Structure 1
Amino acid sequence: MARARLAKWVAAVPMALLALATIYPLLFTANVAGKTRREYILDRFSLAESPSLDNIVGAWTSVGMGTYFVNSVVVVTAAVVLLSLLGSMAGFALSQMRFRGSSVVFLGILAALFIPFQVIMVPLTRIMADIGLIDTYPGLILAYVAQFLPFTVFLMTSYYRTIPAEIVDAARIDGNTLYGVYRRIMLPMGTPALLSVGILNALFCWNDVLIALLMMPSAGHRTLMVGVTSLRGQYSDDIPTFASGVLIAAVPVLLLYLFLQRQIADGVTAGSTKG
């Protein structure tokens, strides 16, 4: 009994410290966002004397964080929908359909996972500029799809391979076309993996700075994370306003995880428990 209790404490103490180290920066940022500039200059680590939302409201309206937030929501939503659709269709084809060169295609997708974006960002930017997609929503959405599609296809292919081929064969015998098998069988069965990869892609796109900075150079088209990055230079002497921008960018991601943490875990482990 004593050993079991000691083992629990040995595991619990480091995890508690890790949780504290993770939560403290968010709490510190929220506290700074509630201070005035004078309070922050006098003592940056003390609690706000009279916490206020004035800095957050100012960052949302005057600084333009509201516009950046809408830009991010539009781009991320469209990119995630396209990634989920294309990734699930490609995963179904590579896992359940037998055609010449499928293994080569899958190996090519695996190879694409190891190519850093910095290697392709110059030619990608030139191609986007030549076809007039720089500083447009479709351009940034397509850039996100191109960057994160290999990961999506790999995950969906790995998941769909755990589904017995007999299910697909039975659906074909019942008269379903390939599209019918995908829509009626594979898409519903792939929901856990789709939800998981959709959330991960949403986090990737939401937190991105480099791709958005290259594709959307004008101030009016900035995404939220690019807007937060720009605040560092524009409001270097107004840390509460900068902290408010960081808080606006962090809260949606935190809420997404809090409400969907079970679905994320289920989606990650679903492929290992099938068949």
Structure 2
Amino acid sequence: MVAVPMAALAVATIYPLVFTTNVALKTRHEYVLDRLSPAGSPRLDNLATAWHSVGMARYFANSLIVVTCAVALLLVIGSMAGFALGRLRFRGSRVLFLGCLAALFVPFQVIMVPLARTMTTLGLIDTHPGLVLAYVAQFLPFTIFLMASYYAHVPTEIVDAARIDGNTLFGVYRRIMLPLGTPALISVGILNALFCWNDVLIALLMMPSARNRTLMVGVTSLRGQYSDDIPTFAAGVLIAAVPVLMIYLFFQRHIAEGVTAGSTKG
């Protein structure tokens, strides 16, 4: 009984990708004649046009730079803060953790106007560092929460033994907690990379110029520019979707672990 709805869900999930791939391999004439038929002679011209002429290569590079820098900062700051809030007890630590938890429930639309004004004042609008900092601010509470939950389940005896051996708090973090937290770091890094890569709203707010657009914003803009050339638009969508699909295929186990990181002892 369960197999039927699961199969239907799988078909509903896979079909849009198959349809987009089929359209991207058609000529405009073939698409106008029959949208649903398989491509008669699959062509890569639309992919080449979207990559070079439309500017998807530049958008791809922008996304790669921003996502890499943002994820690196999130992992460094999030792991340190997670260790402090998950393992250390100091005045205000509980309040700080609850503050991070509360920040998870604040929609970006609530803070987008103050954020835009602050970034404009600092001269960070339409710059890669500005978008990186916006992503860090948006996704840092999630990262801290997962890392703190993971570190909270590390046996206390390990930390005590490291302290007895003469390690400072930073030494405990660098030599003990960081290696032990590698599975959680991988999981949260993948999730943050997906969040940043798929984002449209923050990137659209922070990057108004066409030259600095990220990939997803570039794909969104194609809808208006190529409304009469759907195969080229589909090629742009396919270029944007392939990296995400590859991440899901190769790291699906880590993504599942990231969702449940810290929920059980291990």
Normalised by the size of structure 1, how large is the TM-score?
Answer: 0.95
Among 254, 265, 269, which residue is 2:256 paired with? 265
Counterparts of residues 177-256 of structure 1 (less than 5 Å) = 177-256=168-247
Q: How does 1:73-92 map to 2 (within 5 A)?
A: 73-92=64-83
Cα distance in structure 1, aligned partners of 2:124 and 2:37: 47
**Partner amino acid, structure 2, of 1:170:** A
CA distance in 1, matches of 2:261, 2:237: 34
Give 1:14 deviation, angstroms: 1.1
CA distance in structure 2 between the partners assigned to 1:104 and 1:271 by the alignment: 20
Moved over 4 A (4+): none
* Cα shift at 1:267: 3.7
Equivalent residue, structure 2, for 1:60: 51
Q: How big is the shift at 1:270? A: 4.9
**1:239 corresponds to which letter in structure 2?**
I
- Residue 269 of structure 1: how far off its partner (Å): 4.0
Distance, in Å, in 1 between the alignment partners of 2:191 and 2:12 is 23
Structure 2 Cα separation of the partners of residues 123 and 270 of structure 1: 32
Q: CA deviation at 1:162?
A: 0.7
Shift of 1:39: 0.5
Amino acid at match of 1:70: A
- Partners of 1:40 and 1:233 lie apart in 2 by 18
Match of 2:167 among 170, 176, 182: 176
Displacement of 1:65: 0.3
How much identity, in percent, do the aligned residues show?
Answer: 78
5+ long unaligned stretches in structure 2: none
How many residues are treated as equivalent by the alignment? 266
Shift in alpha-carbon separation, 1:101–1:172, aligned structure 2, 3 A: same
Deviation at 1:167, TM superposition (A): 1.0
Identify the match of residue 153 of structure 1 among 141, 144, 157: 144
The residue that corresponds to 1:108 in the other structure is 99
| 1:136 corresponding residue in structure 2 | 127
**Counterpart amino acid of 1:18?**
L
Give 1:266 shift: 3.4
Tell me by how many angstroms 1:264 deviates: 2.2
Rounded to whole Å, the distance in 2 between the matches of 1:264 and 1:163 is 21
Which one-letter code corresponds to 1:161 in the other structure? A
Cα-to-partner distance string for 1:30-59 (whole Å, 9 max, x where unaligned): 000000000001110011000011000100
Task: List runs of 5+ in structure 1 lacking aligned partners.
Answer: 1-9
> Does the alignment pair 1:120 with 2:111?
yes
* 2:168 alignment partner AA: T
**Structure 1 residue 98 displacement after superposition:** 1.2
Q: Which amino acid aligns with 1:127?
A: T
Deviation at 1:263, TM superposition (A): 2.2
Task: Tell me the distance in 1 between the aligned counterparts of 2:14 and 2:33.
Answer: 24
Distance 1:95 1:191 in 2: 16
Aligned CA RMSD, in angstroms, stands at 1.0
Structure 1 Cα separation of the partners of residues 18 and 65 of structure 2:
28
Amino acid at match of 2:209: S
Instruction: Name the residue aligned to 1:14.
Output: 5
Is the CA contact (8 Å cut-off) linking 1:193 and 1:268 kept in structure 2?
A: no
